[in-house]
């Protein structure tokens, strides 16, 4: 499990960096910044979920407390995204590309095993 998750983190960062570089090269700075922000943000979300699930599996905390933490993490993520979209004028398409790149890597690594 540790090698799988470490691989997901490294590959997700590599894919995000590649997409960032390609968009900078073609002159799409706004999309490139949004891709980088979203890639890092959703990768951090993945790592947080991984730690919470690990704590649940090891029964360090009660189920109710772990579910509370998951809900709070999700609300914090939604708040961060809303702030970035409203105040920082982050490009929504770049945000979706960054999210999709991380999700595809997670699914691909999971299927590969």
Among 3, 2, 40, smallest CA distance to 20 is for 40
Residue 28 CB neighbours (<10 A): 16
Euclidean distance between CA atoms 21 and 36, whole angstroms = 10
Tokens for 81, please give them: 């995204």
pLDDT at site 78? 92
pLDDT at site 1? 46
pLDDT at site 36? 92
pLDDT along the chain (113 residues), means of 10: 63 90 93 92 89 85 85 92 90 91 87 75
pLDDT at site 74? 92
pLDDT at site 4? 46
Domain range for 10:
2-112
Are 36 and 16 in contact by the 8 Å Cβ rule? The answer is yes
Please state the domain count of the chain. Answer: 1
């Amino acid at each position: 499990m540790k090698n799988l998750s470490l691989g997901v983190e490294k590959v997700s960062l590599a894919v995000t960096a590649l997409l960032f570089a390609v968009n900078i090269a073609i002159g799409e700075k706004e999309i490139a910044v949004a891709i980088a922000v979203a890639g890092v943000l959703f990768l951090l979300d993945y790592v947080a979920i991984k730690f919470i699930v690990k704590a649940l599996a090891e029964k360090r905390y009660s189920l109710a407390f772990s579910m509370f933490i998951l809900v709070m993490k999700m609300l914090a993520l939604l708040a961060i995204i809303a702030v970035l979209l409203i105040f920082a004028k982050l490009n929504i398409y770049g945000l979706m590309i960054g999210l999709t790149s991380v999700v595809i890597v997670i699914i691909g690594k999971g299927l590969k095993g």
